[in-house]
Amino acid sequence: MSEARVSLVTVTFNSASTLRHFWADWPREACEWIVVDNCSTDDSVAVATSLGARVLRLSENVGFSAANNVGARMATGDVLGFLNPDVTATRAGVERLGSIALGSSLLVAPQLVNQDGTLQENGRGAPYPARKLAHMFAPASTMNERYVRHVRSGIEQVVWVMGAALFASRSTFENIGGWDPGFFIYYEDSDICLRALQQDVLTFVDGDVRFVHGWARETANGKSPGVWKHEFRSAARFYAKHPHCLIPMGRRSRALKMAEGVEAR
C-alpha cells in the first residue's frame, strides 16, 4: 500500500476455530496483523502464529479494550484497524479504509455483512437506553428506525459503530485516548465514538467496503448470566460517563443529535 501502512489488531480469547475460518486469506500484502491473546486455553496463539500474525499472549484476560490498546502500542502502522476474530478483511477494503483514515481526522468502518451477503446494522444512531432495549428485545420496534443503520453505498455519518471493525489514523486514535480499559467488554465501541465526537471527530460507515462478520454475540442469544453481568456493568459505566444519553440536554446532546442528522434545538 503506497499511501498508508495499516496495522490490523485482533483480540482473541479461545478463538482458534474462528481464526481458521475467517483469517485464512487475510490481506498480508496490504498490512501487518497483530493478535493479542487474552490468555486462551485453546490453540489460538498457535493458529494465529501459523497464519502469519505477530502474536502476544497475555498472562491474564484483561478484556477487549485493554488488549486492543496493547495491540495498538505494538503496531507499526500509521493507520490502526481493529478487527474481531470473526471478521474477514479484503485487501481493497483495507487499502481504502486506510487511505480514508489517514486523510482525515475521523473514525471509519466497513459495512459489515453476514456470510450470505446480507447487511448487518453495524452503524448506529444515538445510544439512548430505550433504543438499546428495544433493539435487544423488540427488533421490529419503530424505535429502531433511527438507531439501526445500513449503508448500501457511499460513506455515511453515524453516531457510533460496532467495535467488530473500526479504523483510525494512529494520531486520531491517540488523541481521543484509545479504548477505555474500564470496559471489559460491551459499550466500549459506543464510548470511543462518543468520546471522539466530543473532540469533533466524526464516525462513518463506508458502504462500498464490505467485510464478512460472523457476529456470535452471546447476549443476543440469551445464553450466559456471566455475559449479561458484563453487559449491565458496562452499561452503568457508559451512562455514568455519557449522562447526556440519559437526559438529552446540553452541548453534548446537541452534538449527538447533529451527528444523527436531527436538527438540534
Query: Is pLDDT of 245 > 70?
Result: yes
Residue-level pLDDT at 260 = 85
Tell me how far apart the alpha carbons of residues 234 and 134 are, in angstroms, rounded to a whole number: 18
DSSP state of 245: G
DSSP state of 60: S
The Cβ of residue 206 has, within 10 Å, a number of other Cβ atoms equal to 20
Residue-level pLDDT at 218 = 47
Residue-level pLDDT at 12 = 98
Beta strands in 60-105 (DSSP E): 79-83, 87-88
Residue-level pLDDT at 64 = 98
pTM value? 0.92
Beta strands in the chain (DSSP E): 6-12, 31-37, 54-57, 79-83, 87-88, 106-113, 123-124, 148-149, 155-158, 160-161, 165-169, 202-213
Q: Which residue matches cell numbers 452503524?
A: 123
> What digits encode the pLDDT tens for the residues 229-239?
999 999 999 99
DSSP state of 142: G
Residue-level pLDDT at 215 = 81
Q: Which residues of 109-136 are buried (b: 16+ CB within 10 A; e: fewer)?
A: bbbbbeeeeebbbbbbbbbbeebbebbe
Name the average pLDDT for the chain.
92
> What digits encode the pLDDT tens for the residues 91-146?
999 999 999 999 999 999 999 999 999 999 999 999 999 888 888 777 666 557 78
Residue-level pLDDT at 1 = 39
Residue-level pLDDT at 142 = 59
Domains and CATH numbers, the chain: 6-260 (3.90.550.10)
